Amino acid sequence: MLLRWRKTVNYIMLGLTGVCTVLAVSALFVILAYLLYFGGKSLDWNFFTKLPAPPGESGGGMANAIVGSLEILGLAGLIGIPVGFLAGVYLSEFEDKAFAALVRYTADLLNGVPSIIVGILAWALVVVPMKTFSALAGAIALSVMLIPIVTRQTEQFLREVPMALREGALALGANKWKMIATVVVPAGSKGVLTGMILGMARIAGEAAPLLFTALNNQFWARGLRQPTATLPYMIFYKAGAPYEDWHREAWAAGLVLITMVLVANILARMVLARGISVPRG
Amino acid sequence: MATQTAVLERTAVRKTAQTGDTVARLVALTFASVVLLIVAVLVFELWVGSAAARHKLGWSFLFSSDWDPVTEKFGAAPFMYGTVVTSVLALLISVPLGVGAAVFLSELAPASISNALTFLIELLAAIPSVIYGMLALFTLVPLMRNYGEPFLKKSFGFLPLFRGPAFGVGFLTAGMILAVMSFPFIISVSREALLAVPRDQREASLALGATRWETTSQVVVPYARLGILGSIFLGLARALGETMAVTMVIGNDPSIHASLFAPGYTIAAVIANEFTEATGSVYPAALVELGLVLFCITIVINALARILILATTSKGSKRP
């Protein structure tokens, strides 16, 4: 009797864990279904070619926000990827125990800093001296978020390169920097590239650091020293307004943004990093 | 003579090689120091930027619940309250769900299915927070206003937590969306901690006649408890600092309400909403000081999470 009771408890509790898993995974599908349905309904060619329309007028697009997002992301990548990559190489290859541990720990802390606070940093460093919101400030905010991600991922993937490869290069007479440049980095390149793509995908969706750095713009930004529209900011701005047309545009922007982010994630994790376990940032 | 030149050449080669190594090391070291520099500058800017508010308001800033930019009265209490309430609500939902799913993925599901499902759950963590916010605003808010909150009021209305008008926006909705945003972290880190539990622990328990569930709940989960706790702290840190999704559904009301249906405010949300329009010297400084408070809270929570996760994963790998 007791055994039967224990077995019943066993099945019920294990069944409940299965229910938890189904609930968790179904959240993804519910989100994707909503975005595909409402976003797909509102997405048209105007979205990619026209400027935002004032409330009450339909047929507006987000051409400037798409270009602005790409511009800021590109600039953030140009700053963040080299810094993060070389810092990661340092952590994996030139380990001075104490200093490396300090850098590693600090990178993890920086990774956990709320994105809105990174926005305050870029505001104080760039917006205040330049006296204007700008694409440059937005890019610097995003690069600050990108650096710790790329650092830690580069380090972890370079560490997975077998010691024997390093020893082989050294035994053939290569000195250390040559060993790193011609053996270690190429051997770990797939993983390192995965880390960079995941980092870019992560900052692509960030709106909070852009709120008071890049701000927004209803028109084309002329140059990097002007307020610039981005997709995440546009979603926040349009979804919060009380106009039906704007809500449709927000859905469309959401669909475009999530497609970019998920495609980058799936490509990086499944195609590029097949068989490598991806550490979480 | 010939050998002497050869030796000289060789030392020359070795010397350039050594300089090459030194240069490479210095370059890498410089870029690694950038990480330290960023955090140092961040702390410096938060400290200097909040100076005006710290001098004018002192410690009372942390405990006052006034928030009136016109008369320059600022207090952090309503925002701290909102941040804590929404995060705790999020954990109440996401911890049982997340740990339950992690148990299923590590103990029951075959490896291939477990990996595929974990992949999907990690995609959930990649979705931008502004998209969570938009979805919550357009779908969850009306659902909560028309069905969820009236139902809770009818069933549990005797508790002060579930009283008052149903707005749809407020603590409860913000907590629910934070739960969805934090459980991917809890699931994937807890799953790894559970997978690090040695196989013989399970076998020993099963051999003693325990059922699968008894083994899991009394042997495996306690063994991995530090890692699971670490994953919870990681989810908590994410919930505390989350900005966009919360800003869109919290209702933006800087006051303290007992009811979970009431609109509130969080630290991150008030910075997001008011920073660009803050004028004068004290108002922006007060917002930066709120940022400093949030920074300190998340640093402590994150540090705890890292230590706990490190403690379990290294323990698991050391004992065969």
- What are the domain boundaries of chain A? 66-273
Same domain, B27 and B98: no
Largest CA distance in chain B: 102
Query: What is the pLDDT confidence band of residue A59, given thresholds at 50, 70 and 90?
Result: confident
Same domain, B160 and B174: yes
- Domain boundary residue, one of B10, B33, B49: B49
- Site from A2, A10, A11, A20 to mutate, B interface, most B CB atoms within 10 angstroms: A20
Q: What are the DSSP calls for B169-227, one per residue?
A: -SHHHHHHHHHHHHHHHHHHHHHHHHHTS-HHHHHHHHHTT--HHHHIIIIIHHHTHHH
* pLDDT tens digit sequence for B71-95: 888 999 999 999 999 999 999 999 9
Q: Is B104 helix (H, G, I), strand (E, B) or coil?
A: helix
State how many domains chain B has: 2
* pLDDT tens digit sequence for A229-281: 999 999 999 998 888 888 999 999 999 999 999 999 998 887 666 655 554 44
Angle between helices A97-112 and A135-159 (to 10 degrees): 130
> HEC string of B119-159?
HHHHHHHHCCHHHHHHHHHHHHHHHHHHHHHHHHHHHHCCC
Please answer whether residues B103 and A16 qualify as being in contact, where contact means their C-beta atoms are separated by less than 8 angstroms: no
Q: Is B24 an 8 Å CB contact of chain A?
A: yes
Q: Which of B186, B149, B155 is nearest to B170 (CA)?
A: B149
Same domain, B153 and B189: yes
Go through B270-301 and write b for each residue having 16 or more CB atoms within 10 A of its CB, e for each that does not.
bbbbbbeebeeebbbbbbbbbbbbbbebbbeb
**Which residue in chain A has the smallest CA separation from B287?**
A120
Quick check: B101 and A23 CB within 8 A? Answer: yes
Same domain, B75 and B164: yes
**Which residue in chain A has the smallest CA separation from B242?**
A114
Q: Determine the pLDDT at residue B319.
A: 36
Same domain, B273 and B182: yes
Judging contacts by C-beta atoms under 8 Å, the chain A residues touching residue B295 are: 113-114, 117
pLDDT above 80 (res A124) = yes
Quick check: B298 and A13 CB within 8 A? Answer: no
Q: Is A2 an 8 Å CB contact of chain B?
A: no
Q: How far is B160 from chain A (nearest CA, A)?
A: 29
Q: How far is B114 from chain A (nearest CA, A)?
A: 10
Q: Is B271 an 8 Å CB contact of chain A?
A: yes
pLDDT above 50 (res A136) = yes
Nearest CB to B35: which of A20, A107, A266? A107
Quick check: A35 and B131 CB within 8 A? Answer: yes
Please answer whether residues A231 and A224 qualify as being in contact, where contact means their C-beta atoms are separated by less than 8 angstroms: no
Angle between helices A135-159 and A63-93 (to 10 degrees): 40
Same domain, B43 and B99: no
DSSP-assigned letter for residue A274: T
Same domain, B29 and B76: no
Q: Report the CATH number that the domain containing residue B120 is assigned in CATH.
A: 1.10.3720.10
Nearest CB to A177: which of B21, B39, B138? B21
Which parts of chain B have pLDDT scores under 70? 1-10, 12-14, 17, 312-320
Quick check: B130 and A207 CB within 8 A? Answer: yes
Same domain, B31 and B159: no
Quick check: B295 and A102 CB within 8 A? Answer: no
Q: Determine the pLDDT at residue B316.
A: 46
* pLDDT tens digit sequence for A78-95: 999 999 999 999 999 987
Token output for B203: 């076998």
Q: Which of A203, A205, A177 is nearest to A79 (CA)?
A: A203
Q: Which of B261, B263, B272 is nearest to B294 (CA)?
A: B272
Q: How far is B141 from chain A (nearest CA, A)?
A: 13
Q: Determine the pLDDT at residue B1.
A: 53
Quick check: A23 and B97 CB within 8 A? Answer: yes
Same domain, B89 and B129: yes
Same domain, B45 and B63: no
Nearest CB to A24: which of B23, B25, B101? B101
Same domain, B112 and B21: no
- The range of the structural domain enclosing residue B34 comes to 2-49
- ipTM comes to 0.91
Q: Determine the pLDDT at residue B4.
A: 67
Same domain, B262 and B180: yes
* pLDDT tens digit sequence for A162-213: 999 999 999 998 888 889 999 999 998 888 998 999 999 999 999 999 999 9
Please answer whether residues A213 and A127 qualify as being in contact, where contact means their C-beta atoms are separated by less than 8 angstroms: yes
Amino acid at B273: N
63-102 in chain B: CB under 8 A from chain A = 96-98, 100-101
Q: Determine the pLDDT at residue B160.
A: 82
Fold of A66-273: MetI-like fold (1.10.3720)
